[in-house]
Amino acid sequence: GQQLNQSPQSMFIQEGEDVSMNCTSSSIFNTWLWYKQEPGEGPVLLIALYKAGELTSNGRLTAQFGITRKDSFLNISASIPSDVGIYFCAGRDDKIIFGKGTRLHILP
Amino acid sequence: EPEVTQTPSHQVTQMGQEVILRCVPISNHLYFYWYRQILGQKVEFLVSFYNNEISEKSEIFDDQFSVERPDGSNFTLKIRSTKLEDSAMYFCASSETAGGPYNEQFFGPGTRLTVL
């Protein structure tokens, strides 16, 4: 079946640092999504990517859809404490296939 | 801003009991979904529903599961005879259409199901 490999599994960074996380897929998706999940809540959509090579920003977040449609990265610039959470990449045709997530910890 | 709502937020049940998880999708959305997330794991697709029919279901969605849209606003997930391994967060999601760009799914806050 379709699988997404997300790395790293967890990150510990200092407040103010930039963050980068990656996702690769065993198959092509038409749409790539990045979600954030905080404890006890549902996934919240951060960025959606629709075109191969597309680079999209949402505030301090930047994501790119790989040319092959089988990979993506998410960057967070100048991290702040509220960035803490689990970041999931996901591929969507109709249903959404989620990666295993990157848990972001921010050290004071 | 319109949002997906789910009730209850937490359901505790005995193994073998039936549970019904309820969702109210965003009002103009036509496609509905259930996902689950076992503690510490990724979110997994269960089922999609459109026009009063299941569009697609995963291997997880076996005969113990069923979905229904009993009225114009609610979308329910029923587990007939719960097992310990059904303990998870269950997320409802909805979208205006399925597939294609710019028609993303919006997730509810989830129901935490605990089977004892």
DSSP per position, B46-71: EEEEETTEEEEE-TT--TTEEEE--S
Find the CB nearest A31 among B56, B58, B101: B101
Closest CA to A102 of A36, A47, A52, A13: A36
pLDDT of residue B100: 67
pLDDT tier for residue B19 given thresholds of 50, 70 and 90: very high
Task: Give, rounded to a whole angstrom, the gap between the first and last alpha carbons of chain B.
Answer: 37
Closest chain B residue to A34, measured at CA: B104
Q: Above 80 in pLDDT, residue B27?
A: yes
Measured in angstroms, the CA of B44 and the nearest CA of chain A are apart by 7
Contact yes or no for A100 and B42 at CB 8 A: yes
- Give contacts of A 46-85 with B, CB under 8 A: 48, 50
- pLDDT tens sequence across B29-48: 999 999 999 998 899 999 99
